[in-house]
Amino acid sequence: MRIIVGVTGASGVIMSYYLLKALKDAPDCEIHLVTSKAARLTWQYETDKPFEELSSLADAVYEEDDLAVKIASGSFVTDGMIILPCSMKTLAGIVSGYAENLLLRAVDVCLKENRRVVLCPREMPLGKIHLHNMKLAAQYGCTIVPPMLTFYNGPRTVEDQIHHVVGKVLLQFGIIYERMKSWEGRR
């Protein structure tokens, strides 16, 4: 499996670290990482980890300004792309086809090649434009997986919540994440 992961400057960048760790543990998964400049800034504000801890988990890391790399072309076959977290700016770029950087171009390529795209939009509250753009993204073929809190699985920590989000994202690619507690029905 070959997956592109995009990380934007929306709050919640630490979730991308957990996602990459899970993908790294998945059998035969090749990870291509592209981060925005804003993601790197948010990373500094929201985590104590050096950014290299995130990038070291990927098989290939790209600068958002480099449109001459292989993930910018449909002839480079992937299983799709995940953007976690997805900023509203990135969402707007996706639905308008404004592929001005590599992250947006990679999504554009996945959509035009009918590959899976999973967006994890992070904003609160959601405005009418945000909701409209999410609806458009879904109509264009994206799967929308907002990182929402869950309680049916008995989470005790923020990390438990992150594991649930990562698990839901990975299910979109048929990957079972052992750290996600699934609903098991009434006891």
What residues form the annotated binding site?
Answer: 9-11, 36, 87-90, 122, 152, 168
Per-residue pLDDT band at 181 (split at 50, 70, 90): confident
**What CA–CA distance (Å, rounded) separates 46 from 163?**
18
Classify burial at 36, counting beta carbons within 10 Å of its beta carbon; exposed 0-12, middle 13-18, buried 19 or more.
buried
What residues form the annotated binding site for FMN?
Answer: 9-11, 36, 87-90, 122
pLDDT, tens digit (0-9, with 9 covering 90-100), for 109-133:
999 999 999 999 999 999 999 999 9
The pTM of this model reads: 0.96
Phi, psi dihedrals of residue 9, rounded to the nearest 5°: -85, 10
- Candidates 73, 159, 167, 71; CA nearest to 118 is 167
Instruction: Determine the pLDDT at residue 127.
Output: 97
CATH for 2-172 (1.10.10.1100, 3.40.50.1950, 3.40.50.300, 3.40.50.1820): 3.40.50.1950
- What does the pLDDT average to over 168-182? 92
Instruction: Determine the pLDDT at residue 174.
Output: 95
How would you label 154-169 residue by residue, b for 16+ Cβ within 10 Å and e otherwise?
ebeeeeebbbbbbbbb
What residues form the annotated binding site for dimethylallyl phosphate?
Answer: 152, 168
**What CA–CA distance (Å, rounded) separates 1 from 21?**
15
Evaluate whether 17 touches 23 at the Cβ level (below 8 Å). no
pLDDT, tens digit (0-9, with 9 covering 90-100), for 76-108:
999 999 999 999 999 999 999 999 999 999 999
